[in-house]
Structure 1
Amino acid sequence: MPQSLKSTVALSLSSHCEREESLMIKLKHPLSGLFENLRNVFEADEIGKEIANIAFPALLALAADPIASLVDSAFVGHIGSVELGAIGVSISIFNLVSKMFNLPLLNITTSFVAEDAVQKAVLTDFPLEPSSPVLKGLFSVESLNDNGEICEIAEANMPAEKPCLPSISSALVVGAILGLGEAFILAFLAGPILTVMGVGSSSPMRLPAVQYLRLKAVGAPAVVVALAVQGVFRGFMDTKTPLYATMTGNVVNIVLDPLLIFTLELGVSGAAIATVVSQFVVLGVLLWILAMKVTLLPPRMEELRLGRFLKSGGYLLARTVAILLVMTLSTSMAARQGPIQMAGHQICLQIWLAASLLSDSIALAGQAIIAAAFAKLDNIRVREASFRILQIGFVFGVFVALLLEATLSAFSRLFTTDADVLAVIKRLIHFVALTQPINSLAFVFDGIHYGASDFPYAAYSMIMASVPSAAFLLVLPHLWGIVAVWWGLTIVMSLRLGVGFLRIGTATGPWNFLKGGDVE
């Protein structure tokens, strides 16, 4: 635990009441913080530096999977438009099956590890009486015995070469089980899933799509466990280690792609094999480094806290299913337009998602900072971090929009030289570019919800936002074609943004303190 964080814990505990009183005096409207200090959005103050130190390495690390997909798309695009469309459908299916479970695990791990790390620092630096109300407020129900006292406080104060946090061990166990399950689903149900996606047995995309998807299934366990380990490092506010690991994996992927696709003439299968090998390299590096810092598994399996993972994970699973079903439905409707339309959609979608990673990295920084601040009951810190990352996210969203609008037409030629595919991309450029500010703020709100452990609201609001978007996608693409698919994506991201403003703007749930109440 960094010394600066321990000092912050001490300051928070000693001046909690004064800061709460100051907060209530200063607040006007719950969203008033959005318009405060706008000229100093990128000021290198204490919180600005902390956001940058977490967000910048996270940005490069988060880019790993989309970059791998873009690399595959770039190489496969030179084989043909049918093959490019095939891997587009396969990548979408892989994202649906894997991220349906992986993203909840990643975000829960980040929040829980951040909370556990703060609590560990409090026990180490402040050996208060077990019945202290301060310590009771900082610990979850699972940490208290029947008398309301903190369990094993003596053990927590004992020095240890390698700390053992239940959140870390639980994340690894859950990740391993999920990864094996995903591998089974992708390997044995590839055909039926592709049929549902609109790629039937008579489609020219069918054979390359099946080959690519079944080979990528081998890497599913590595992807899930690696994401869980990344969540651990993020909880410790360390985004540099995942960056080094993913950079290593990307180098492996870039080297292997041309070798396997063209030199060994494996085509689409070569692209999948290169990606799988790189994923296991990333996992190996991450586990090796983590094992040097902490104990990966507890002495007794009953020490695992799987209950809170499953409860919070259930909420985020429902949320992730909702958004991924909308995303997958959009890909399915694009595939029904034919290989040319699907190829253009695939390139635009990958660029659209990759461009949004900047905002996702800012959201990740906010999640870690906000989770630690909530664990310390530092509401002023929560408010300051939340509105700062919203401001930064919006500015970057506008910047990325302008950049894509100016360069996307020329940039798309790196992925294909097919004139028909390029014509489709030209029709979609404005959607890809102009939705970036919306996407940016929507992703930042996700980080804010997760940092506050506001998992139920994140789930219910996303389900409500996905219903009208899915209805639009089911009907309008039959009339308006590929353009309607992108209108559907724009609608879901706009609604996603709206429910974020609604939660904080009404000062409900964990944000009750914004109107001078207590944190729920």
Structure 2
Amino acid sequence: MTSGVMNDSFMTSGGGASDGGAGKFPGSRRSELSVVAVRVRFVVNVEETERVPAKRVLGLAVPALGVLAAEPLYVLVDTAVVGHLDALSLAGLALGGVVLAQVSSQLTFLSYGTTSRTARLHGAGRRADAVREGVQATWLAVFVGLVVLAAGQLLAWPVARVLSGSDEIASAAVSWLRIALFGAPLILVTMAGNGWMRGVQDAAKPLRYVLAGNGISAVLCPVLVYGAGLGLEGSAIANVAAQVISAGLFFAALAREKVGLRPDFKVMRAQLGLGRDLVLRSLAFQACFVSAAAVAARTSTEAVGAHQVVLQLWTFLALVLDSVAIAAQSLVGAALGANAARQARGVASQITGYGLLMGCFLGVLFAALAWVLPHAFTSDPGVLAEIPHAWWFFVALQPIAGVVFALDGVLLGAGDAAFLRNATLGSAALGFLPLIWASLGFGWGLTGIWTGLSLFMVLRLAAVLARWRSGNWAITGATRPA
């Protein structure tokens, strides 16, 4: 059996071997032996073949990139529409959008954690159980989303007031946010849907679902803002409409699977345990990047502008590299669920190589664009003069980021979230945060800030490389022991 056929087994062994195989010939001893033979052949070939076809990786990574890019692209459309109202509306959208974005950025466990747990079950040939994991993640998304909605309605004004420092801007932000928050549970349902569908090796449908929601909303936004005369509130309604459509499609996908839809609080508690580690990890990232923005703002207006330009490029490239990490989550989780530690290690090496190659390519590309691309973002001479202080750090970090993000995906796929939490917290405490605040005290400016980011990435690189080489992450089985 070729490696390509072996990987098809990742997708079909759940329904064919465990559910559909025996059902075709009820009571047949021969069919039972055939099922056993299929399972044995599956495991043997997984162990013998360490790599997967590049086409299989791309089949997961490219749709994942589309999902990751869909939201920023929609935000650009939304910003362009609202930007033609007035400056106050644009400021309100910007502030409200920052607050709402915390919902997805802090609760990534609903997608990444669900992928890990679902992929293991799918690799073990238990597709129905894998989908049930998605059902529980969806229930958890609804419960957590309702809490976010209630808390957001209560805290919208004080949070907006603190962040804006202006009653006028805060009022505009709250008018948008109070409506947009009704989409919070649906945002989380979409994240859970992405998670379980990636876990069962289906990355194409989530892309279609997300594009359907955002595409219809992009058309609806100017109609509501200008045609219906709803202004900024029209933007918020269009935003919720996008979430309703996408979440509705994920709900329908679960219903088509014909598995039990009742909540199982034991499973949800286990998901929250993994979620705790990923939330703490996300908070470490937020502390670092908020600190960096604060120090840049205290350096000079030009410095904060330059930092914003380079940081947005960093964020965009992180999406590109993260798509490979998502493929790693699906493939590594499935291999470990199939008790194929050797296959998981082979995929880890393969994905890490892809990450390094992509990082090197991006580094070379943006080095070549150093004297051109910044002018597309600003014409201010002061900002342009500051950009090189961050730019060359940004370029040099791409190969490192490629490896770090790839191995993050490998370890997330293995369910090794506690290690990633500790590695991120340690790297932030020892590298990023001390240098950021030292750069404020010693006047190091953007050079100090991006030196801190570089040290943060190097420490994370050392940690994930050591973990990868140790092999201690490759714990096999349909579930990972707590």
Q: TM-score, with normalisation over the residues of structure 2? A: 0.78
The structure carrying a bigger helix percent of its residues is 2
Higher mean alpha-carbon deviation, 85-94 vs 109-118, is at: 85-94
Q: Which residue does the alignment assign to 1:200?
A: 165
Question: 1: distance between equivalents of 2:451 and 2:78?
Answer: 27
Structure 1 contact 168–232 (Cα < 8 Å) conserved: yes
Structure 1: which amino acid aligns with 2:353? Q
CA separation of 1:98/1:362 partners in 2, compared to 1, >3 Å: closer, same or farther? closer
Query: What amino acid is the match of 1:48?
Result: A
Of 58-67 and 171-180, the range deviating more from structure 2:
58-67
* Alignment equivalent of 2:460, drawn from 472, 486, 496: 496
Deviation at 1:166, TM superposition (A): 3.2
Instruction: Indicate if the aligned counterparts of 1:84 and 1:343 stay in contact, CA closer than 8 A.
Output: no
Are 1:178 and 2:140 an aligned pair? no
- Indicate if the aligned counterparts of 1:74 and 1:416 stay in contact, CA closer than 8 A: no
Report the counterpart of residue 465 of structure 1 in structure 2: 427
1:315 alignment partner in structure 2: 277
Match of 1:69 among 75, 88, 92: 75
1:189 aligns with 2:155: yes
Q: 1:94 to 1:302 in 2, by over 3 A?
A: closer
- The CA deviation at 1:437 is 2.5
User: Equivalent pairs: percent with the same residue?
Assistant: 28
Secondary structure at 1:476's aligned position in 2?
A: helix
Q: Which one is further off, 420-429 or 395-404?
A: 420-429
Cα pair 1:106 1:230 within 8 Å, conserved: yes
1:114 corresponds to which residue?
A: 119
Specify the code of the residue in structure 1 equivalent to 2:134.
Answer: I
Q: Using the alignment, how far apart are the partners of 1:420 and 1:79 within structure 2?
A: 29
Cα distance, 1:240 vs. partner?
0.3
Match of 1:57 in 2: 63
Matches within 5 A, 1:90-489: 90-101=96-107, 103-121=108-126, 165-194=131-160, 199-201=164-166, 206-259=170-223, 271-295=235-259, 297-298=261-262, 301-302=263-264, 305-334=267-296, 345-407=307-369, 428-468=390-430, 469-477=432-440, 479-481=443-445, 484-489=448-453
Q: Secondary structure at the match of 1:509?
A: coil
Q: Partners in 2 of 1:338 and 1:264 — Cα distance?
A: 42
Q: What's the offset of the Cα at 1:83?
A: 7.1
* Aligned AA (1:112): R
Between the two proteins, the alignment pairs up a number of residues equal to 449
Corresponding residue number in structure 1 for 2:28: none
Cα RMSD over matched residues?
4.0
Residue number in structure 2 paired with 1:152 = none
Checking the alignment, whether the CA contact within 8 Å between 1:109 and 1:231 is kept in structure 2 is yes
Q: 1:361 to 1:164 in 2, by over 3 A?
A: closer
**1:320/1:15 Cα in 2 relative to 1: closer, same or farther (>3 Å)?**
same
2:31 is matched with: none
Q: Is the 8 A contact 1:73 1:415 kept in 2?
A: no
Unaligned runs of 5+ in 1: 24-32, 34-44, 123-161, 514-518
Cα displacement string for residues 285-333 of structure 1 (whole angstroms, at most 9, x for unaligned residues): 22223322343613xx458522321222222222222223323333444
Question: Does structure 1 retain, via aligned residues, the 8 Å contact 2:133–2:267?
Answer: yes
Q: 3-state SS of the aligned residue for 2:339? A: coil
Instruction: Please give the alpha-carbon distance, in whole angstroms, between the structure 2 residues aligned to 1:403 and 1:439.
Output: 15
Contact 2:400 2:458 (C-alpha < 8 Å) held by counterparts: yes
Q: Which amino acid aligns with 2:165?
A: G
Partner secondary structure for residue 377 of structure 1:
coil
Aligned residue identity for 1:232? W
The separation in 1 between residues aligned to 2:261 and 2:447, in whole angstroms, is 50
Please identify, of 52-61 and 9-18, the stretch whose mean Cα deviation from structure 2 is larger. 9-18
CA 1:186–1:344 in structure 2 vs 1: closer, same or farther (change >3 Å)? farther
SS in 2 for 1:305: helix
Amino acid at match of 1:476: S
Aligned-partner residue type, residue 470 of structure 1: L
Cα distance in 2 for residues equivalent to 1:258 and 1:414 = 26
1:127 is matched with none
Shift of the 92–343 alpha-carbon distance from structure 1 to 2, 3 Å rule, reads farther
| Alignment-mate amino acid for residue 182 of structure 2 | V
Q: Residue 340 and residue 187 in structure 1: after superposition, are their counterparts in 2 closer, same or farther (change >3 A)?
A: farther
Amino acid at match of 1:242: P
